[in-house]
Structure 1
Amino acid sequence: MSSGNPLALPEASTSSITLPEASTSSIQPHQTLEDSASASSIGYPPISHVAIDLFIRKKRQDLKRGKLTITDSSDNLVFRVDGKSSKSTPRPRRLLLDDSGNPIFAIFPYDGGWQVFRGESGEWKDLVFRVQRTYSSLLITELEVFLLDENWGDSTSDFKVKGCPFQRSCTIYKRNAIVAETSLLYKLRKIIVGRRRFKLTIFPGFVDHALIVALVVIFFDGRK
């Protein structure tokens, strides 16, 4: 976890966690996630050998609409999230879009968890993965992520997300490796820290940044 995070999770012992080696391979459920959108939106940047910081912002006027913007360190738009429904899919959903407004993932609440579809249709053939909440308390929330295998069934748990939504703090694991984490933007000699803007750090060797952003959106779903 980031040094600025006041809540240290006991599960994430630094003695047992290693960062993944750099790899250009991508997670493959039924179809590679790169196929769900253009390479420029899924692999941003395509390959990185250093940690990447993205900044997630929720404007005051968008609190109830579930809208988010995700920018890089130069304040360039990378992703955005819209919360809306349509005539074809009237049930609540959130759309993860690239910087040009093209839909990458549609996120639907389902049976106490979430289902994530390629694009925006919400059709079964486009289902990519599902997320289940496995633990929830006042301070700690834990999620497990199940990608679809080639037979359209769940694989074993591929990712876990653990943290404190109120503190905008979570750590994303792939097996026993940390691939990303979020934290508030703490500053020296500043006691009160705003929660409408926080940082997402993606570590080297993981190129599916849209997948990571989708998991962060799910983790903080419904939190002001």
Structure 2
Amino acid sequence: MAQPSYAPMAKPRFAPALQPVFVIGPQFCAPYPVDLVIVEKPFTVTEGNFHVTDVEGNLMFKVKGRSFFLAFHDHRLLIDAAGNHVVSLRNKVLTAHSRWEVFKGDSIYAKDLLFSVRTSHVIQIDTKLDVFLANNSAEEVCDFKVEGSWTEKSCVVKAGESSTIIAQMQKIETLGKHKFTVSVHPNVDYAFIVTLMVILDEIHL
């Protein structure tokens, strides 16, 4: 069966990135904008509710879940099209802020921590997440920030506290109710951006 194609998307106006941004790996950086289509699917214990394709419908990532894989943690895996485990995500359930930690591959060990994500405020209406890289243990200033509205599928990812947008989510009505797009800036780690979208979805389930 032929894969569906999508109409060209309106391009967000990106501020120039000062340098390449890779958090999970440089192999996920492209020298051109990367447009992704995220398909929300019914959640099951073993399968998450995300499939990520390019605009031609080719699978790029999917999510698998292991509910309460560890005590007080909810565990997810981001897997690429070849079946490789890209990152492991776990939710620290018993915390004031909604907080997720992301590790290399399928690891859950502190030495393999890549970054963590938490809600900016304990109680909030709009989407506001702070992202801290593993070496930013003080967490006084975030390395990246996510802002917008998840329910409207309209969010941006910014570099730290700056106004520099490195990725933008937008809902395209022609794609259907359970599909939306993410446009990723050139030389920005798109696996990292996808992981942030997965965490956003988990926080708002």
TM-score interval for Structure 1 and Structure 2 normalised by the shorter chain: 0.7 to 0.9
Please name the residue that 1:143 is paired with.
129
CA distance in 1, matches of 2:198, 2:150: 11
1:71 aligns with 2:38: no
Per-residue Cα deviation, 1:77-123 (whole angstroms, up to 9, x for no partner): 11111122586x46321111111111111111122311111111211
**2:16 corresponds to 1:20:** yes
Measured on the aligned residues, the alpha-carbon RMSD in Å equals: 2.9
Q: Trace 1:148-187 onto structure 2 (pairs within 5 A).
A: 148-149=134-135, 153-154=137-138, 156-174=141-159, 175-187=162-174
Q: Which has the higher contact order (CA 8 A, sep 6+)?
A: 1
Q: Is 1:147–1:154's contact at 8 Å kept on the other side of the alignment?
A: no
For residue 47 of structure 1, report the CA deviation from its aligned partner: 2.2
- Alpha-carbon separation, structure 1, partners of 2:68 and 2:84: 16
Identify the residue that residue 194 of structure 2 maps to in structure 1: 213
Measure, in 1, the Cα distance between the counterparts of 2:130 and 2:177: 24
Count of matched residue pairs: 186
Task: Please state how far the C-alpha of 1:18 moved relative to its aligned partner.
Answer: 5.7
In the alignment, is the contact (CA less than 8 A) between 1:145 and 1:158 conserved in 2? yes
SS of equivalent to 2:82: coil
Alpha-carbon contact 1:168-1:195 (below 8 Å) kept: no
Deviation at 1:186, TM superposition (A): 2.1
Amino acid at match of 1:217: V
- Name structure 1 gaps, 5 residues minimum: 5-13, 188-192
CA distance in 2, matches of 1:120, 1:159: 23
Partner Cα distance (1:86, 1:102) in 2: 22
Partner of 1:10: none
- Aligned-residue identity in percent: 29
Instruction: Provide Cα deviations, 1:47-67, integer angstroms capped at 9, x if missing partner.
Output: 22xx3210000224x367533
Contact 2:168-2:184 at 8 Å conserved across structures: yes
The TM-score, its normalising length taken from structure 2, stands at 0.78
Give the ranges of 4+ consecutive aligned residues of structure 1 lying more than 2 Å apart after TM superposition: 20-23, 62-67, 135-138, 152-156
The residue type equivalent to 2:105 in the other structure is G
TM-score, length-scaled by structure 1: 0.72
Contact 1:68 1:81 (8 Å CA) reproduced: yes
Paired with 2:89 and 2:146, the residues of 1 have a C-alpha distance of 16
